[in-house]
């Protein structure tokens, strides 16, 4: 009869945790370009090792103001064929809270 091992003898699966570091202006430009290339925010979090809120602070231009304009200039130089397929405008935050003006949608 084969010998069975207790469950506690197996090593635990390693968990990957990104190393958090402060973002730079160059990172902010690259994050804008990645947004226009439709790279998932989850992949950006692991690539840059940042908190998800930092991405939205960049996209709302609360941090690194002017990075969107720099990124757009660089994006158009690198990917001129994709210029008509992106929305270079600022990120628009959509609130999930119910607003009284939403009731007019049912009229």
* Coil/strand/helix, residue 49: coil
| CA-angle at 38, arms to 35 and 44, nearest 5° | 60
What confidence tens digit (pLDDT) does each residue in 65-103 have?
Answer: 999 999 999 999 999 999 999 988 888 777 777 666 666
Whole-number Å distance between alpha carbons of 105 and 56: 28
Please say if the pLDDT value at position 54 is more than 60.
Answer: yes
Of 21, 18, 58, which Cα lies nearest the Cα of 36?
58
What confidence tens digit (pLDDT) does each residue in 5-49 have?
Answer: 555 555 565 555 656 778 999 999 999 999 999 999 999 998 988
Residue 87 burial (CB count, 10 A) = 9
Q: Please, which residues have CB within 8 angstroms of residue 67's CB and are 6 or more apart in sequence? A: 25, 28, 29, 32, 58, 61
């Amino acid at each position: 009869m084969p010998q069975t091992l207790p469950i506690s003898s197996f090593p635990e699966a390693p968990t990957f945790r990104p190393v958090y570091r402060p973002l730079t202006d160059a990172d902010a430009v690259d994050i804008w370009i990645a947004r226009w290339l439709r790279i998932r925010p989850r992949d950006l979090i692991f690539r840059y090792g940042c908190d998800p809120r930092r991405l939205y602070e960049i996209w709302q231009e609360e941090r690194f103001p002017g990075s969107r304009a720099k990124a757009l200039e660089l994006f158009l130089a690198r990917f001129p064929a994709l210029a008509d397929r992106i929305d270079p405008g600022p990120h628009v935050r959509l609130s999930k809270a119910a607003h009284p003006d939403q009731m007019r949608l049912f009229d």
